[in-house]
Amino acid sequence: MEITWDISTVTLLAAAVIIISKLTTDYLRPKRKSPPGPKPWPIIGNLNLLGNTPHQALHQLSRTYGTIMQLKFGSFPVVIASSPEMAKQFLKTYDHVFCSRPATAAGKYTSYNYSDMTWAPYGPYWRQARRIYVNEIFNARRLGSSEYIRVEERRAFISRLFAASGKPVVLKEHLSHYTLSSISRMVMGNKYFTQSESDSGDQGSIITFKEFHAMMDEWFLLNGVFNTGDWIPWLSFLDFQGYVKRMKALYKKWDRFHNHVISDHKSRRQQSEESFDKDMVDVLLQHAEDPNLEIRLTSDCVKGLMQDLLNGGTDTSATTVEWAIHEVLRQPRIIEKARKELDRVIGREKWVEEEDLSKLPYIDAIIKESLRLHPLATLLAPHFSIEDCEVSGYHIPRGTTILINTWSIGRDPNSWDEPEEFRPERFLLEKSDIDLAGRSFELLPFGSGRRKCPGYSLGTKMIRSTLANLLHGFDIKLPGDMKPEDICMEELYGLTTHPKVPLALVMDPRLPLHLY
């Protein structure tokens, strides 16, 4: 009997073979174990669990599911590391796997299409940019040669506080003014800012301090938000949170500023027949003209890298000092102990200079303790896996976003005694070997591994010298009948997390008046 096969029969048989083969393969393939975590909802996954302070919400979840857990944001897997051991796995042991960044709207719209160091994916461009940062912008010689700028701006900062003696001042505003003045001179050679719209300012100034700070605050907020469109792409066109609209508006403001600064620098270089001191923007522009560079630096690349230098150096230093002042005012004994060290080592006839910082271990301990409880980034900028990996017995597939919860790490009871207590003495005793350079995974204010902040050495110089001189030069008091327990310690979440309520303080001089 002859069997005839028509096309439909053959198609059905082929489909059956494929289905049976796939089912058999799936059945025989060993099951891969994913990290534990809460059950996701349809469409939104676990986005509903984050709230206004995602780091705190994730901290609470880690108490239930452990120090490595997996959530779904939309349909995308997100793994959270909440202990030093887990952070070490992602940032050191398997750093080569988790060294990239996810593609977010913030990186696209506020960072020149991923052209800055924060959001650039791992690859030749990012490696080249990091080499420029480490070897030419943040090297010891350049930081040493710019110390006079930091000294001049710090003295101007102290003079402004002295002029307001006896009256409540909002410390955040003065700190931001000081750090922006310092960083802008180091990065751009000029401040490019006016005090107010009516102030003629320096030649070339196109924006007020207030406007620029608003731009920076908006950048840090938008780069830290969980934008629904990043996780549910088919809903991105709706932009129902309004974040993308704000990102595009912010981009226009930044671009206008950057174009002005770059145009001014190019004009100065063309007009100058003699050599001149190159600032950080000059270094970037010089590389942009280098035909032998592996990856050409476009105008957007220069802008993105310049923006990183301004934002990173300004916001992080001011915020760290602000948190430290909040904490020490709640415990006057800490201020007294710090002043005894300052009076003994520095004396009352001079200010603290950068060369003195290594001789002030208690000041250093205060800063470390503040960074433990109030890390610069409560969730480090997200990492992204570029290949499959097994971490602590769990399968982490390619394309997974990794969040390192430094807020949780700083409260890990297995690493810290009385973790909720602000106790700087721990860094003089049992934790004296912990540093800020990313080698100690219990404390990661600047990250670790390939993605560690390349400007951490400048940041630590500014933080230490600022706090030391504030405590040395001023008797800092709360206004009116305000008590230490009235200080608000709530957080305003973003890529960096600020005190929710800026603190007004009375700053009275405690050194001889001729020093001010």
Residues flagged as binding site: 453
CB-CB neighbours of 514 under 10 Å: 6
Compute the distance between CA of residue 229 and CA of residue 86 in angstroms, rounded to an integer.
29
100, burial (CB in 10 Å: exposed 0-12, middle 13-18, buried 19+) = buried
Phi, psi values for residue 399, rounded to 5°: 90, 10
Q: Where are the alpha helices (DSSP H) in 4-139?
A: 7-28, 54-65, 84-88, 105-109, 124-132
Q: Supply φ then ψ for residue 78, to 5 degrees.
A: -135, 125
Give the integer Cα–Cα distance in Å for 253 and 246.
Answer: 11
Largest CA distance in the chain: 115
Strand stretches in 275-372, DSSP E: none
Residue-wise DSSP of 188-220: HSS--EESSTT---STT--EEHHHHHHHHHHHH
Beta bridge partner(s), residue 403:
80
Question: Which residue reads 């991105």 in tokens?
Answer: 236
Question: What burial class does residue 337 get, using C-beta atoms within 10 Å of its C-beta: 0-12 exposed, 13-18 middle, 19+ buried?
Answer: middle
Distance CA 27, CA 24 (A): 5
Instruction: Tell me how far apart the alpha carbons of residues 506 and 161 are, in angstroms, rounded to a whole number.
Output: 9
Rounded alpha-carbon distances, angstroms, from residue 415 to 99, 372, 418? 25, 11, 10
CA–CA separation, 515 vs 477, rounded Å? 20
How far apart are alpha carbons 122 and 98 in whole angstroms?
Answer: 9
Could you write out the DSSP letters of every residue in 365-410? HHHHHHHHHS-S-SBPSPEE-SS-EEETTEEE-TT-EEEEBHHHHT
- Identify which of 185, 174, 177 has the alpha carbon closest to the alpha carbon of residue 150: 185
174 contact partners, CB below 8 Å, separation of at least 6:
157, 160, 161
Residues in the annotated binding site for heme: 453
